[in-house]
């Protein structure tokens, strides 16, 4: 068991990630004096990542996971061996900035009922732009589609300091995810069976169903390389987009909405598959069909999870859910940036 000497443990799960640590770990370690321990959990790397960290960063605590357990399972294995009040799950391909941590810990202590939060996430390759996975905070529309401030579908905004506030969101990015450790464990953590996409959305939804808040803290900034686990636009990404979104709805949506929403989403997915077919993207159609059959094949498992999670549902917190269709707003009305939606999230308080 590793006991954090600070309240917060920044936990980096790595697999053959030496090249990322050479780039980004020095700044993470340099900023640790602002109030956190750095712990690297090595997910059975086959190169010299583990030895490199031990030799080059003596203040970094290390864990060795003997068998590669993937993203969610890797964190499950690591976090049960780490004792801290707060965790920050930080992907290896993130660059932190000077002073990135204090706004996050201050928010966790200041805002009542805040279970988890994320910083502003910008794109490492084009640094003036927000990044795909989290951007300026994560939201959901009335039909369960996900979007962000600063990124709607594939449209990225420049950061012009328009999102420097503290707001309540529906989900926080798993790439740089600060969470209360007791709530993380009480509510089951990241779902291992989602594999590598939308696990953080699922966890945030469970926390919100228990009445807690999820936050975006705009005075903290990090940079994300992106696409290093699953490439954006890849068949694998498309598969998990369609399959895991259905799983999220089945596990977490209220009963009064689920009975009509799940069939409607299946219908919309069918339209997306037909459109892909008629525009020559046959492989996308096949991927969408495969995602649906994967969902149907494990329906019993997801219904069991729904029953398990229902025991912790108290009063559902719906803040951060826009009661309109983001698909209609973006593709039909051509509203490509968040400000055009004419919908404002709630300030954290």
284 three-state secondary structure: helix
Q: Angle CA(326)–CA(329)–CA(335) in degrees, nearest 5?
A: 120
The residue whose two tokens read 């999870």 is: 305
Q: Are strands 213-224 and 114-123 parallel, antiparallel or unpaired?
A: parallel
- Residues of the chain with pLDDT below 50 are none
User: CA 272 to CA 291: how far, in whole Å?
Assistant: 13
Q: Angle CA(273)–CA(278)–CA(280) in degrees, nearest 5?
A: 95
Domains in the chain: ranges and CATH: 2-224 (3.90.550.10), 235-312 (no CATH)
Predicted confidence at residue 196, as pLDDT, reads 72
The helix/strand count (H/E) of the chain reads as: 11, 16
**Which tokens is 326 given?**
């983001």
Q: What is the pLDDT of residues 235-274, one digit of tens each?
A: 888 999 999 999 999 999 999 999 999 999 999 999 999 9
What are the DSSP calls for 189-225, one per residue? -S-GGG-SSSHHHHHHHHHHHTT-EEEEEEEEEEEE-
Predicted confidence at residue 77, as pLDDT, reads 92
Q: What is the 3-state secondary structure (H, E, C) of 56-108?
A: HCCCCEEEEECCCCHHHHHHHHHHCCEECCEEEEECCCEEECCCCCHHHHHHH
Predicted confidence at residue 229, as pLDDT, reads 52
Residue 315: Cβ within 10 Å count: 9
315 three-state secondary structure: coil
Q: What is the pTM of this model?
A: 0.96
What are the DSSP calls for 244-261, one per residue? HHHHHHHHHS-HHHHHHH
Burial label, 278 (beta-carbon count in 10 A; 0-12, 13-18, 19+): exposed
Predicted confidence at residue 237, as pLDDT, reads 86
Q: What is the pLDDT of residues 24-78, one digit of tens each?
A: 999 999 999 999 999 999 999 999 999 999 999 999 999 999 998 888 889 999 9
Q: Is 339 left (phi over 0), alpha (psi -120 to 50) or beta?
A: alpha
Is the CB of residue 282 less than 8 Å from the CB of residue 276? yes
Q: Phi, psi (5° rounding) for residue 335? A: -90, 100
The residues, ordered by sequence, that sit 6+ positions from 125 with a Cβ below 8 Å of its Cβ are: 225, 226
Predicted confidence at residue 194, as pLDDT, reads 87
304 three-state secondary structure: helix
């Amino acid at each position: 068991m590793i006991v954090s000497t600070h309240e917060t443990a920044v936990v980096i799960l790595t697999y053959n990630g030496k090249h990322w640590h050479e780039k980004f770990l020095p700044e993470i370690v340099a900023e640790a004096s602002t109030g956190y321990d750095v712990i690297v959990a090595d997910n059975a790397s086959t190169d010299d990542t583990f030895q490199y960290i031990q030799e080059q960063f003596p203040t970094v605590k290390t864990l060795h996971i003997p068998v590669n357990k993937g993203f969610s399972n890797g964190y499950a294995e690591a976090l049960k061996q780490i004792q801290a009040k707060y965790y920050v799950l930080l992907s290896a391909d993130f660059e932190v900035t000077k002073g990135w941590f204090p706004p996050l810990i201050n928010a966790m202590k200041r805002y009542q009922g805040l279970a988890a939060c994320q910083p502003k996430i910008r794109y490492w390759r084009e640094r003036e732009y927000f990044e795909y996975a989290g951007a300026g905070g994560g939201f959901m529309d009335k039909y369960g589609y996900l979007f962000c401030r600063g990124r709607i579908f594939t449209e990225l905004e420049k950061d012009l300091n328009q999102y420097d506030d503290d707001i309540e969101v529906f989900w926080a990015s798993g790439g740089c995810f600060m969470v209360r450790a007791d709530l993380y464990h009480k509510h089951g953590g990241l779902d291992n069976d989602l594999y590598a996409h939308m696990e953080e959305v699922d966890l945030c939804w469970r926390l919100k169903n228990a009445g807690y808040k999820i936050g975006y803290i705009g005075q903290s900034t990090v940079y994300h390389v992106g696409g290093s686990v699953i490439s954006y636009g890849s068949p694998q990404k498309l598969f998990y987009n369609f399959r895991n979104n259905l799983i999220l709805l089945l596990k977490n949506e209220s009963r009064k909405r689920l009975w009509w929403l799940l069939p409607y989403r299946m219908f919309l997915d069918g339209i997306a598959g037909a459109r892909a077919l008629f525009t020559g993207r046959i492989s996308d159609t096949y991927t969408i069909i495969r995602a649906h059959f994967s969902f149907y094949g494990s329906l019993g498992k997801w219904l069991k999870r729904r029953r398990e999670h229902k025991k912790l549902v108290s009063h559902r917190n719906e803040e951060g859910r826009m009661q309109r269709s983001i698909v209609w707003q973006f593709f039909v009305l051509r509203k490509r940036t968040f400000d055009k939606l004419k919908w404002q999230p709630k300030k954290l308080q």
